[in-house]
Each structure stands twice: as C-alpha cells, then as structure tokens.
C-alpha cells in the first residue's frame, strides 16, 4: 500500500540507496542469519534491468562487503560487493579527506579488515596500547571492555578526533529491535571526554555525500529508502534527497505520520516493491 497522505512535491530520482535491515532483509540478533523481505529481490532486479543505479548502505559495521554481499546474493538480492557499503566505507573516505593517519578502533576484526582494505592504518583497542593516534573510531563491538573505553577516552582527551559508525540506539531484526553497540560505547566516551563523536554512518551528511558520489548523481537525485525516520529519512532531509519510508522494519505507518518535519518521509510504502509505482524514478 502507498500511503497517500505523504504527497509532498519531489523531483526525479536517478539513483537509489537502500537500507538493509527492515527494508531489504531482517537479520537475527547475532547478525548471522538473513531473511529477505517480500518484493526486495524483484525490486532490485527491475532497477538493474532499467539501468537505474542502486546501492545498499547499512549502519551495520561488523562485516566487510566481501563477506556480507555474497550472503545477500545467496538470497537472490543482486547486490555486488562494490555496491554494498557500511559506515566503515564512509569512515575511510572521511579519514582520507582529513589526512587522518593512525586510528584506534573499538570494533571487531571485521571492522579492522574493512578499514585496512581501504588503506587506513588501524589498530584494535583489544590488541593493547596503540601509541599516539590521530583518531578514535567506534563501531560494532559486542566485546567492548572498560579497558577499551579507557584507552579511547585517553586518546580523545589527548587531542584525537572522535568518530562513530552510528549513534542509532536500535535496529530491526527478526526478533524485534536490537541494541546498537556503537551508540552506547560512543555515549560513554562522550560523557567522559565532553566531546561528541562525528557519525560516519546514517544519518550523517558524510554518508549522504558518499552515497551520491558512489551513485554518480546529485544528492537531490537520490531516492533514500529505509525503515527509520531517525536514520534514512533524516539523512534524506539533511542532503536534500527524496526519502521513502517503509513499514517493514522499526516504524509503522502511524509512527511515520507523527514524524517531525526534519525527519518526515516524502513517501511511505508498505513494501519496498512499491517504490516502482511512485512515479519518481527516472
């Protein structure tokens, strides 16, 4: 169902960004199993046939694209490795722009692998003292300890830049909403240091700029599709893109209707497949 009360005038979209959890798939709480949502495969295949560029940007930072994308393709989703991105991808992009060298990482080995593959000099907090670093980066880190938080706080208090993959407290899974580690860990470091982190994942402008650059279109020509007003549609509003909310994840149609202007979607659909019927895509 297309919810007709969301009828704000919009331009033409020439590229599409999809969220993963709650939009194309649902994971389990351990992020090890995926269930594809109805209409997702057919929608991506149609976009591919029509030559409309698309990519997926998840706020999940646990795995590299090389590990995650083949599992998505096994479900039938035509997402190539080079079209799947995480906050780690955006972080590497930002670090390069800023000339940031050595980075202390509070995250899993998958986070480290992703950053190093992009040429970042990264060091895991759990590996022991990192020496002087230019930045601290917080990502998916279920094994975080107080020692890791202490090391990060010392680095930030010593002048290191502070980044986090996500400041979103929850995300949709097969078992309901699940806890976002990056948000909690980043919050602890911010409370101690008095310094808020820059977010590299959604809904940051960093992420919106990255998406538009990868799609090869202007930000205003990106259709941003997701299930969370505080993530995807907020990012769309920040970047002047077109935001479409789906009801298959964390947010119901009634909840979408209550969203404030700065996070309100331009359109709301009950199935991702219905984006093809909106008359917005080139």
Q: Please tell me whether residues 161 and 222 are part of one structural domain.
A: no
Residue 270 belongs to some domain of the structure: yes
Q: What is the chain's mean pLDDT, rounded?
A: 94
Q: Please tell me whether residues 123 and 105 are part of one structural domain.
A: yes
Domain-ending residue, one of 173, 199, 225: 199
Give the Cα separation of 103 and 151 in Å (integer). Answer: 12
Say which CATH number the domain at 188 has.
3.40.50.1000
Give the percent of the chain with pLDDT over 90: 87
Q: Please tell me whether residues 62 and 139 are part of one structural domain.
A: no
Domain count, the chain: 2
Question: Among 31, 9, 72, 19, which Cα is nearest to 203's?
Answer: 19
Torsion of Cα atoms, 105 then 111 then 112 then 115, to 10°: -100
Residue 222 tokens read as 């990106």
> What are φ and ψ of residue 237, in 5° steps?
-65, -40
**191 has a pLDDT exceeding 70:** yes
Residue 172: pLDDT band (50, 70, 90) is low
Q: Please tell me whether residues 111 and 75 are part of one structural domain.
A: no
Q: What is the mean pLDDT of residues 117-129?
A: 92
Question: Among 55, 47, 14, which Cα is nearest to 242's?
Answer: 14
Domain-ending residue, one of 158, 180, 199: 199
Q: What is the mean pLDDT of residues 147-176?
A: 88
Residue 53 belongs to some domain of the structure: yes
Cα-based angle 202, 7, 52 (whole degrees, multiple of 5): 55
pTM of the model: 0.91
Give the Cα separation of 77 and 163 in Å (integer). Answer: 31
Q: Which carries the bigger pLDDT value, residue 95 or residue 176?
A: 95
Q: Please tell me whether residues 75 and 211 are part of one structural domain.
A: yes
* DSSP β-ladder status, 25-27 and 34-36: antiparallel
Q: Please tell me whether residues 190 and 214 are part of one structural domain.
A: no
What is the predicted pLDDT for the residue at 280? 97
Residue 179 belongs to some domain of the structure: yes
Q: Domain range spanning residue 239?
A: 15-86+203-277
Distance of CA 75 to the CA centre of its chain: 20
Residue 104 tokens read as 């202390």
Residue 1 belongs to some domain of the structure: no
pLDDT digits 0-9 by tens, 216-268:
999 999 999 999 999 999 999 999 999 999 999 989 999 999 999 999 999 99
């Amino acid at each position: 169902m297309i919810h007709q009360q969301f009828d704000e005038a919009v331009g033409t979209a020439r590229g599409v960004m999809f969220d993963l959890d709650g939009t194309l798939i649902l994971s389990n709480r351990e992020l090890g199993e995926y269930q594809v949502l109805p209409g997702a495969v057919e929608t991506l295949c149609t976009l591919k046939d029509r030559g409309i560029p698309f990519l997926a940007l998840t706020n999940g930072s646990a795995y590299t694209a090389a590990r995650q994308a083949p599992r998505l393709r096994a479900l039938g989703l035509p997402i190539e490795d080079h079209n799947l991105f995480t906050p780690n991808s955006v972080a590497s992009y930002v670090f390069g722009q800023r000339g940031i060298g050595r980075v202390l990482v509070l995250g899993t080995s998958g986070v480290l692998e992703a950053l190093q593959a992009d040429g970042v000099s990264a060091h895991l907090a759990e590996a022991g003292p990192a020496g002087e670093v230019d930045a601290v980066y917080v990502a998916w880190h279920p094994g975080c300890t107080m020692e890791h938080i202490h090391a990060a706080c010392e680095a930030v208090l010593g002048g290191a830049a502070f980044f986090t993959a996500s400041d979103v407290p929850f995300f949709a899974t097969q078992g309901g909403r699940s806890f976002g580690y990056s948000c909690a860990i980043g919050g602890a470091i911010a409370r101690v240091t008095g310094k808020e982190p820059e977010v590299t994942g959604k809904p940051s402008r960093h992420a919106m700029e990255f998406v538009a650059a990868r799609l090869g279109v202007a930000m205003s020509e990106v259709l941003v599709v997701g299930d969370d007003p505080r993530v995807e549609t907020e990012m769309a509003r920040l970047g002047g893109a077109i935001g479409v909310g789906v009801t298959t994840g964390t947010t119901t149609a009634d909840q979408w209707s209550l969203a404030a202007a700065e996070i309100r979607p331009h359109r709301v659909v009950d199935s991702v497949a219905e984006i093809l019927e909106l008359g917005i895509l080139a």
